[in-house]
Homo-oligomer: A and B are copies of this chain.
Amino acid sequence: MSQAVVFKLLGRRVRLGLIGGAQGSLIGPVHRTAARLDDCFDLVAGVFSSDPERSLNSADAFGIKRGYTDVASMIEAEIVRADGIDAVAIMTPNDSHYEYAAAALDAGLDVICDKPLTNDYDSALALARKAHDRGRILSLTHNYSGYPMVREARATVTGGEIGALRLVNVRYVQGSLSRPVEAEPDKMAPRNKWRLDTAKGGKSHVLGDIGVHAHQLISFVCGRRIAAVLADVGPSLPGRTAHDTAQVILKFDDGTRGQMLISKVATGAQNVVSIEAYGEDGGISWNQAEANDLRVMRLNRADEIRTRGLPSLHPHAQRGTRLPTGHPEAFFEAFANIYTDFAELVAARIAGAEPDPLAQLTPNAWTGVDGLAFIDACLESTATRTWAEVVYEDDRF
């Protein structure tokens, strides 16, 4: 029980300040619900919008005690309070992540941030270095790796149960940009407006928004790095300039083949996130629509359906489980697992204790940096029409 871990270390919940997620936001309630789920946090402060009035109104509406009008004020006020926040959660448009995260780290706060870490590799790297220099936690809400059965998949693949890995396939497809929504800007959802604006949303919408999830998922499950990509990234609708689809053939650093299909023009596909990985002795297959199950395949033998909640699962899968089998858990619970990992890391950091090694597997600043390196490689490959290497920062201090 994570709450017990946190209480044991701190004698209280982690105190969290929220940045972003005003009334009407889609992702705001997800973060707040996830943060509350395991009761490891007190949500005590927040700046919910760059519009001061909207920010304060949202604090009232959400029952958050200490609403602020801007991030600097919140940090300034909170760090001097005896009951001030320990950490901030950032859920603002991508282009502001750097500024808010850097300010929080500089003030000695831990940070949990929505993905992508930033819109460009350099600023992501700068954040990673800052987190290291300040000795603070920087977690990223790559929520798909919060699913227990994704963790079981990772343990199965990296533990050698399917033998030498040979082939991996990931899909992340949805239909949110099936129609030419840009043609009628007045009707666009606000979140699409800033996301499709490259200044705010990043140079490749589809890669920054969902491609980094696919990148983190494949890297996490396979436990190795993508070395090179052969990609075609761009728009699929006539007249569109924003990237809506990324098609990627890839090789891992050990030669394993991989493939990805990432798209927002898959009309009717309901946020399909799936991975299948094959080794010489077996394979695994998982998709979010049946999130509580992991199929483990073996040549010429019956498949095995491992289910969240079984006592025989790997410890990393057990860790993120609250209910017995047959009582399904889903998106919020997976998202909460990232928050709860973060709570344990923060509590351990404050208490000067060693956190659970499993909590340390949670996505962090380097996950974010690597995701931006992947984006850069995919765009380079698209431009040059040939293979591009993914260039990683190897000096991880």
Contact residues of A with B, CB < 8 Å? 3-4, 7, 12-13, 26, 29-30, 32-33, 36-39, 61-63, 162-163, 166-167, 169, 171, 173-175, 178-179, 230-232, 236-238, 245, 247, 249, 255, 257, 259, 261, 263, 265-272, 276, 278-283, 288-292, 295-307, 309-312, 322-333, 385-387
Contact = CB atoms under 8 A, between A and B. Distances in A.
12 contacts: A3-B63, A32-B39, A39-B62, A166-B237, A169-B261, A174-B326, A247-B249, A267-B283, A267-B299, A269-B276, A302-B310, A329-B330
A197 to B, nearest CB: 22
A218 to B, nearest CB: 14
B307 A296 contact: no
A267 B282 contact: yes
Contacts of A245: 167, 257
A302 B296 contact: yes
A270 B325 CA distance: 6
Contacts of A62: 3, 39
B278 A297 contact: no
Given A267-B279, A331-B327, A230 B249 contact: yes
A153 to B, nearest CB: 13
A63 B329 contact: no
Contacts of A303: 268, 304-305, 307
A63 B122 CA distance: 42
Given A232-B249, A288-B326, A12 B63 contact: yes
A263 B166 CA distance: 10
Contacts of A163: 267
A329 B61 CA distance: 24
Contacts of A298: 267-268
B329 A332 contact: yes
Contact of A237 (B179, B280, B386): B280
Contact of A299 (B268, B271, B297): B268
Given A29-B322, A236-B166, A329 B327 contact: no
Contacts of A329: 330-332
Contacts of A174: 326
Nearest to A247: B249
Most chain B beta-carbon contacts within 10 A, residue among A263, A289, A300: A300
A289 B61 contact: no
Given A39-B32, A299-B179, A386-B385, A63 B171 contact: no
Contact of A268 (B37, B236, B297, B333): B297
B63 A13 contact: yes
A261 B163 CA distance: 21
Given A178-B280, A270-B325, A324-B271, A236 B257 contact: yes
Contacts of A12: 63
Contact of A171 (B169, B265, B281): B169
A335 to B, nearest CB: 9
Contacts of A63: 3, 7, 12-13, 39
A169 B328 CA distance: 22
A297 B301 CA distance: 16
Given A269-B278, A289-B328, 17 more contacts: A7-B61, A33-B38, A33-B39, A37-B37, A162-B267, A166-B267, A167-B236, A175-B278, A175-B283, A178-B278, A178-B280, A230-B249, A237-B280, A268-B278, A269-B297, A300-B310, A328-B330
